[in-house]
Structure 1
């Protein structure tokens, strides 16, 4: 297990107003509400790009999750952070559309708590990603019917936040797929 760097996160209240900053590990140990983003990238066939988190991640290693997640740095616009992390984690860029926000609270492994004010972005991409192996050990394009069947039969293979996000109104997989269909397509 690799501990996260002493990265600062933006602490917010329920209205998404900044109330301070905190170090990543401490924020997750204490379950403090902080700003984050989740990205769902689809291809023209409507398949979702999933990543399998690297085994060495400080939590949820080896689990499947949405295309990319992360946190903006203090002073960084959330959309810019999303673009940066998509490139850093998955090795590509594509136009991203913000389709809303949601708040969730979930206990993850190692006694850590995700409590996030989460911006949800969708995009479209038509090439193979080039993930950083320290971030993602595998990836796959998956159709939503197959994914829903896997979520029902083997929920333990997926991150807690992925399962929580896609249960939120407006963030169900088919709704995200429809919204992504309106995004410009990047081809690598």
Structure 2
């Protein structure tokens, strides 16, 4: 789709039940609850794919993220969206995200159901230039250093906090 603001999304309630559809622009303007996927991608050495979003993104332009992902299209399953988004953003084919957990993110007047996955990728990546302005594979320690000094998307920060708790518990 040429204009992301016109993409149709499912609007959901606080129990993740679809109540209607709306354009992404309308969803963001009105702060409607919708669905997103987050995929934490590691290489075989355990390093995490981290990137900086381009300045043209509708949400958190120029911020860093340790997840690839995005909104779930109207009628699309979470798992299908996770594969689509990860493959698009990384420029790869054949990634297999493993579901971990789901939570309702709330921040700055925006809310969305966040379905979190992880995947391993053992090959080159060719990140989508319209989405990714910079990228690197970072160790968890290097990522912790960046989290302390760089701007990261708020939903990614929250998802990563929950991810670390998921494995600590």
Q: Is the 8 A contact 1:144 1:174 kept in 2?
A: no
CA separation of 1:174 and 1:125: change in aligned 2, threshold 3 A: farther
Counterpart Cα distance in 1 of 2:10 and 2:153 = 22
Counterpart Cα distance in 1 of 2:66 and 2:19 = 28
Out of 132, 145, 152, the position equivalent to 1:149 is 145
How much is the aligned-residue C-alpha RMSD, in angstroms? 2.1
Q: How does 1:107-186 map to 2 (within 5 A)?
A: 107=108, 113-152=109-148, 154-155=149-150, 157-168=151-162, 171-172=163-164, 175=167
Match of 1:17 in 2: 17
Match of 1:79 in 2: 79
Match of 1:34 in 2: 34
CA apart distance, 1:106: 1.6
1:86-122 CA-to-partner distances (Å, cap 9, x unmatched) read 2222211311100010111122xxxxx4311111010
Structure 1 unaligned residues grouped into runs of 5+: 108-112, 177-188
CA apart distance, 1:135: 0.8
Task: Say how many residue pairs are matched.
Answer: 166
Q: TM-score scaled to structure 2, two decimals?
A: 0.88
Structure 2 unaligned residues grouped into runs of 5+: none
Counterpart Cα distance in 2 of 1:74 and 1:3 = 16
Counterpart Cα distance in 2 of 1:3 and 1:55 = 15
Match of 1:64 in 2: 64
Counterpart Cα distance in 1 of 2:116 and 2:62 = 23
Match of 1:105 in 2: 106
Counterpart Cα distance in 2 of 1:174 and 1:120 = 11
Q: Is the 8 A contact 1:144 1:173 kept in 2?
A: no
CA apart distance, 1:59: 3.1
Aligned to 1:82, what secondary structure does the other structure show? helix
Aligned to 1:50, what secondary structure does the other structure show? strand
